[in-house]
Copies of this chain bind each other. A is one copy, B any other.
């Protein structure tokens, strides 16, 4: 971590002048929401939280930070799961949470230009006004903001059909570490004029600059959507079932989630009103969705044919189709309640990993054995986005063990599971990023050549090292 200066009082006053006193937070009580995060792993401190109202103000702040060599932590919705948005000490916090303008929806309604502080759910609502969808979708969508979604290249439940944040972005506006504004707000689908600066900035977690606005892709709104929940004998069958679903539905397969029996058990036990929609209990379940832009797109027939074929091949043991929007929402709520239900079971050690899709069953079998060895009785609850190879390999504490004693095993368990992930050619961060939480693991596990290239790039775009210091690299 490079060293930098804490801002002087005079500098703090100049910074406050840019955004106005009411948007320059020095009072601990007003700072508090910007200095903790919902997993409660990190508690930061900072001389000042600045809430600029425009790109111009962000630019002026960065020009001063650059001249005075002051560390800057960009923050959007503060929903990040790896601590990337929390300062470590003397840095100032630059929150984009006042930059909530939707600047434009283009005439063809294929894109919209939004500022970094727009809440994801508000972006959804705006798209729907124009009979379109912006498909990036995740549990935190009521509070996460576009700037953070892009800075972390967020994923979610619709990556299978629509891609992650990077794939959903056409153009960017960002302020560079020296305060200059990069206007890359294009809505072009094709532009082969040099290096891909956009995709370099997306996913760099605020270490190369501050994203202030973006042009997001819009898609036709599905007018037919069918959801099914199926019981599976084992994960190998789930793999074949996924392939079959892709062959039947192609891009119409908009979700394919998997979860173990224990996840459903926990949801049914802890979340009021939830129940297993299938009569029998299966070791594994899949939740899948097919969508068509046409009201009569044949999705029901396609789903019937898929389930019949899967049943005939003994890939599924039981299945139910949601015949109404309410029933579909209930199925999705099962899936979305897993994390909350798990919380009620005590401590949970989490891994957001991806592996080549075909190795998911092997990964889970071997990870379970590793976990059992480290902590006998611990209960793995692996679930996630099968079509993306993305496993949320979360482990609930053994019943009766103390929460603190279990969580003390976090690092040991992470290291062992990540070693397995790397041996299977997987990724130790599928969608949450690196931030502070996985920085040491990245340094330990990422090939030296890649780390070197990243550090070289960082060194020429942020030569003073003031952008989100101590994160990622």
Contacts and interface: CB of A to CB of B under 8 A. Distances in A.
Interface stretch (A19-27, A324-332, A403-411, A422-430): A422-430
Contacts of A298: 294, 296-298
Interface stretch (A65-73, A363-371, A457-465): A457-465
Interface in A369-391: 385, 387-390
Contacts of A44: none
17 contacts: A155-B190, A182-B447, A182-B449, A183-B447, A184-B450, A188-B425, A188-B426, A188-B427, A189-B357, A189-B388, A194-B472, A199-B200, A200-B200, A246-B293, A249-B293, A250-B294, A252-B252
Contacts of A453: 182, 195, 197, 461
Contact of A457 (B159, B449, B451, B457): B457
Interface in A122-168: 131, 152-153, 155, 159, 161, 163-164, 166-167
Interface of A: 106-110, 131, 152-153, 155, 159, 161, 163-164, 166-167, 176, 180, 182-184, 186-197, 199-200, 202-204, 208, 219-220, 222, 239, 242-243, 246-252, 292-294, 296-298, 302, 305, 354-358, 385, 387-390, 425-434, 438, 442, 446-447, 449-451, 453-454, 456-461, 472-473
B190 A390 contact: yes
Contacts of A456: 460-461
Most chain B C-beta atoms within 10 Å of own C-beta, residue among A200, A453, A472: A453
Contacts of A197: 450, 453-454
A202 B192 contact: no
B164 A196 contact: no
A470 to B, nearest CB: 15
Given A356-B106, A461-B453, A190 B164 contact: yes
Contacts of A426: 188
A357 B192 contact: no
Given A192-B433, A293-B247, A459-B460, A107 B358 contact: yes
B203 A192 contact: yes
Given A190-B159, A194-B434, A430-B192, A358 B220 contact: no
Q: 7 nearest interchain CB pairs?
A: A250-B293, A251-B251, A191-B427, A456-B460, A190-B430, A199-B199, A189-B388
Contacts of A428: 193
